Amino acid sequence: MILFGTAAMGRVVRSGLGRRRVQTAVIAVATMMAVASAVVAGSLMVAAAAPFDHAFGKQQGAHITAQFDPAKAGAAQLAETGKLAGVTASAGPYPSTAFRPVDQGGFQLPTLTLVGRSGPDGDVDRVDLKSGRWAQKPGEIVLDASFEGPAIGIGAGLKASHTANAPTLSVVGFAVSASKTADSWATPAQVDALASEDSPSTVQMLYRFDSASTKERILADRKKLAASVGSGALLGTQSWLDTKRAADQGAAATVPFVMAFGMLGILMSVIIVSSVISGAVGTSLRRIGILKAIGFTPREVVRAYMAQALIPAGAGIALGVVLGNLLAVPLLADTEAVYGTVSLSVAWWVDVTVPVAALVIVGLAALIPALRAGRLRTVEAIAVGRSPRTGRGQWAHRAMGMLPLPRPVTYGLATPFTHPVRTLAMLLAVAFGTVAATFAVGLTSSLTAVGTSQDPEGRAAVTVTTTKLNNVAPPPPPPAGGSAAKPSPAGGSVASPSELKVADPAKVRSAITSQAGTSSYYGKAQTEVAVAGASGSVQASLYDGDSRSGGYEMISGHWITGTGQVVVPTRFLERTSTKVGDKVRVTYEKETANLRIVGESFDTSGSQLEIHMDMANFASAEPSTFLVEVKTGLSADEYAQKVGAVIRPLGGDATTNAPSGQEGVILIMSAMAVLLTLMLVSVAGLGVLNSVVLDTRERIHDLGVCKAIGMSPRQTMSLVLSSVTAIGVMGGLIGVPAGYALHSLVMPVMGRAVGTTMPSPVLDVYEPVQLLLLGLGGVVIAVLGALIPAGWAAGARTATALRTE
């Protein structure tokens, strides 16, 4: 043990660790949990910003992706826009169109933006080719890497559309664009060939500016581009700030709650380490005196007790780094798919900074009680030994003795007053454990509410569709790291019209209304529309009838109640610079309507804009799905069978809705919350265990006397357990309000991280009975922590206890 001085010093340290195995384990576990939480929090903070910036800089990403009308702005004129003041680089013009391909299984993918480029390189948006090669001739296509998977790989064929004479494109590569300038790439000639009247060809230009770090600068640059070409030539733009925000949101939402758990863990480890070392000093006064008597200096005594804290803490820190890296993997996996080839392993500096900081914190926590040991006078330490000061806590024993309770219970209730500092440490450990449990219950309840609010169709008992898949194979698995084609209400992916038999919506509606078990229903159709002021297509949900039961939670305003109204998510208001009460122009096929924004919906589905409006705004719109509530007492399966028997001959179908489970980031965050809470509660229990072990060992002689005059083992256990019961009650009274307040603080921060405000149903998740049970959780933590030493005290032989000093 050269690290801590002489061989004698090493023997002292090893002896101290061996005699206090419980305290050693408590220090190791507490530091392990704190470091693991901090590593996860640090890795997520890096994932929330640095990877996108790295990939964007490496690829020379586009600050603005602009679409122009080739009939109003020629190639030469567009090339001149690259010389505007403030433009540092430009690329294009590239022909662009939108198409919806069909894979080899006959299933349609989402609408893709196809851009014609002769190669992946350029002055702007240097696309990273992840696998395969670039398209070199007509009939070849490169897809975004998110589509790569078992169903779509190199050499797979995609029909350009569902029509019989549509050309087939061969997938030759998969690529990643940090700027998200396109979903697919082909030769310019291939793009021109695929353009049609329904999906005309446009021209894409990519720009980098000397100043584009704020929304205001992006808007100013956009005005500059619009002014440089003819009126109406600029069709729309995409800002890199929107792309960055969308890419960062998945990891950003997890940072606040992991940081909260990390801070709880660090604070608890400080409290427990201080308590353990302080208890070690308090119970080793005679040993400290003997060490000084045989020649140990005060500095060597301090070093010995510091070593007894730092050695188990070092082991816990090492294990915590490994555990933190393992826990960070699932949280970083989804974000890694966004950036493709960019590495998202835990940053090396996180694995270095967190352990060093933890070691410093543990050292400081152990320093104060270790200095106390160094300052003790030799004669006083040997004379006093480990007995508590005479008279300490006697007033508590007298006060508790007046209570109408058994004497072992009143004796136990008075015990904590003998060591106020140790009792305070135990109280804080229980309180922090209760805080963690309260916060975790609220967090998981809020996450469940978020998941439920994002699946309004799942609230209906039965889904009735106007289409029925005929002899279609099961849908392929989603592409690795990406999303599959949007599922149809009946399940599976959207098939091509040749595989569908479509029922008349009016006949399907009549079949629903004629059923005796129908309680209520509404129709729904999902499509793409154009919205003035929003670049690209916008997903739209059209509702027929009273759709309040299938509406999203509202942040402000109200759900649609009739024609002329539209409900939009927060990101729509931000991107279009609109607010509730403004009007927007919406175009569906060949119809246009001016609609007033009447509500801001709570929608965390991602960067895709989705708006909600009444189907009556557009004469040509028809529902493709009906969501039905059945009357109380009627089986949803039985109702679906009856309706299905009527509408299947017409071409429709009916299915029951299974409760939607948590998926993706919500499931990961819930699992992380449960895991971190179990770790914190376990450490809190170990903190109680440590304190009760110290108390029991100090009072083993007193317990022997009590046993000698007739105290039974059961009464001994009640004495030890009652000594922590009051601490558990106080810890619950402190911890529950603190956990409630922490939840109220963290949840809005998580909402802001994903670009939205949390509605009250997501925030107000605690029930009075639930809070009462959580308060009793403090008692449970305290009692469970004290069970082992209580059993040891009850089983100790009277003679052995009486001989113990």
pLDDT, tens only, 600-633: 998 876 666 789 999 999 988 888 889 999 988 8
Is 301 within the bounds of a domain? yes
Least confident of 24-38, 375-389, 636-650: 375-389
Residue 416 lies in a domain: yes
Residue 469: what pLDDT?
A: 40
- For residue 64, what is the enclosing H or E element? strand 64-68
The mean per-residue pLDDT over the stretch 290-301 comes to 81
Domain assignment of residue 481, yes or no: no
Lowest mean pLDDT among 123-127, 358-362, 470-474: 470-474
Task: Give the end of a domain, one of 656, 684, 715.
Answer: 656
pLDDT of residue 803: 57
Please give the pLDDT value at position 490: 32
Q: How confident is the model at residue 658 (pLDDT cuts 50, 70, 90)?
A: low
Domain endpoint, select from 640, 656, 672 = 656
Asked if pLDDT for residue 541 goes beyond 70, the answer is yes
Same domain, 623 and 525: yes
- Answer yes or no: do 35 and 113 share one domain: no
Please tell me the distance from the alpha carbon of residue 400 to that of residue 110, in angstroms, as a whole number: 73
pLDDT at 500 over 80: no
Does 787 lie in the same domain as 703? yes
Q: Which has more pLDDT, 523 or 257? A: 523
Task: Give which of 253, 265, 261 is closest to 357, Cα–Cα.
Answer: 265
Helix axes 664-698, 21-47, angle to 10 degrees: 160
The answer to whether residues 612 and 749 belong to one domain is: no
pLDDT at 522: 92
Express each pLDDT in 340-363 by its tens digit. Answer: 444 556 778 888 888 888 888 888
Measured distance CA(384)–CA(376) in Å, rounded: 11
> What average pLDDT does this structure show over 266-289?
71
Band (pLDDT 50/70/90 cuts) for residue 123 is very high
Q: Is the pLDDT of residue 436 over 60?
A: yes
- Minimum mean pLDDT among 47-51, 609-613, 650-654: which range? 47-51
pLDDT reading at 422 higher than 90: no
Spatial separation of the C-alpha atoms in residues 641 and 432, rounded to whole Å: 53
Whether residue 16 is found in the same domain as residue 43: yes
Asked if residue 217 is part of any domain, the answer here is no
Same domain, 82 and 196: yes
Residue 777 resides in a domain: yes
Provide, rounded to the nearest whole percent, the portion of the chain with pLDDT above 70: 83
Percent helix, strand and coil across the chain, each rounded to 5? 55, 15, 30
Dist CA 36 CA 599 (whole Å): 42
- Where a domain ends, among 608, 640, 656? 656
- Residue with the bigger pLDDT between 413 and 220: it is 220
Q: What is the full DSSP assignment across 204-272?
A: EEEEEES--SSHHHHHHHHHHHHHHS-TT-EEEEEEHHHHHHHHHHHHHTHHHHHHHHHHHHHHHHHHH
**776 and 698 share one domain:** yes
Domain enclosing residue 598, as ranges:
459-471+486-656
Mean pLDDT on 117-144: 91
Q: Does position 795 have pLDDT exceeding 80, yes or no?
A: no
Per residue in 208-266, pLDDT (tens digit) is 999 888 888 998 999 999 999 988 889 888 888 878 776 666 556 666 777 777 777 77
- Does residue 723 have a pLDDT over 70? yes
Q: What is the pLDDT of residues 349-398, one digit of tens each?
A: 888 888 888 888 888 877 887 787 778 777 666 665 544 455 566 777 67
204 band by pLDDT with thresholds 50, 70 and 90? very high
Q: Note whether 264 and 343 are same-domain residues.
A: yes
Does residue 504 share a domain with residue 417?
no
Per residue in 706-715, pLDDT tens? 777 777 888 8
- Give pLDDT, residue 386: 46
User: Is residue 672 domain-shared with residue 641, that is, in the same domain?
Assistant: no
The token duo for 85 is 């003041």
Task: Kindly state whether residue 541 falls inside one of the protein's structural domains.
Answer: yes
Report if residue 237 sits inside a domain: no
pLDDT of residue 106: 65
If asked whether residues 652 and 687 sit together in one domain, one would say no
What's the pTM?
A: 0.68
336 has pLDDT over 60: no
Residue 226 counted as domain residue: no
How many structural domains compose the chain?
4
The mean per-residue pLDDT over the stretch 575-597 comes to 88
pLDDT band at 501 (very low <50, low <70, confident <90, very high): low
Give the lowest-confidence range in 32-36, 76-80, 586-590: 32-36
List Cβ neighbours of 510 (8 Å cut-off, separation of 6 or more): none
Within 8 A by CB and 6+ apart from 521, the residues are: 464, 512, 513, 545, 626, 627, 628, 629
Q: Is 634 helix (H, G, I), strand (E, B) or coil?
A: coil
Whether 191 and 75 share a structural domain: yes
Average pLDDT of the chain is 80
